[in-house]
Structure 1
Amino acid sequence: MVLTPINELIADSWQVDIQKLFETFANESDEINKNLYDSLYTYVLQKRQENILNYSSFVI
């Protein structure tokens, strides 16, 4: 099952339903596809974290 073309995931990580992406990863039986969905989930999550950390008003 293909959720969204990869170039759309790369363009704007906030448009991705990350919960659906994780559920697809968790329910995938094919190991190659499971690894792909895991990588996409990790990429989208990292991009979101990167965007949050780059906000000028973000303080740790």
Structure 2
Amino acid sequence: MLGVIKMDEKKVLKPIDEILADPWQVDIQELFKSFVNEPDEIKKNWYNALYTYVLQKRQEDIINRPGFII
């Protein structure tokens, strides 16, 4: 019988909540490096999704600033 590893959700979810709460506090280059260098396909996809989310939120913040013109 295989043992089940139980993770403390609060320890896992807090850092994710912090990343999602303020995308400007995230080192986006580190996220990109993690995505590029990750050999595990599932983790690679997760890093890619997180990188894309942070990048999109930063772009939205810039576009929504008063006086922003394309």
Is the TM value for this pair above 0.5?
yes
- Please point out which of 25, 49, 59 is paired with 1:39: 49
Which protein has greater RCO, CA pairs closer than 8 Å, 6+ apart?
1
Uncovered stretches (5+) of structure 2, i.e. residues with no partner: 1-13
Q: CA RMSD in A?
A: 1.2
2:29 to 16, 19, 39: 19
Distance 1:50 1:41 in 2: 14
Structure 1 stretches of 4+ moved >4 Å: none
Q: What is the TM-score with the length of structure 2 in the denominator?
A: 0.78
Structure 1 position 6, deviation (Å):
1.1
Distance 1:40 1:6 in 2: 9
Cα offsets for 1:19-47 (capped at 9, x unmatched): 00000110000000000000000000000
1:42 partner amino acid: T
What is the number of equivalent residue pairs in this alignment? 57
TM-score, L = length of structure 1: 0.90
Corresponding residue for residue 58 of structure 1: 68
d(CA) in 1 for partners of 2:16, 2:52: 13
> Would you say 1:7 and 2:17 are equivalent positions?
yes
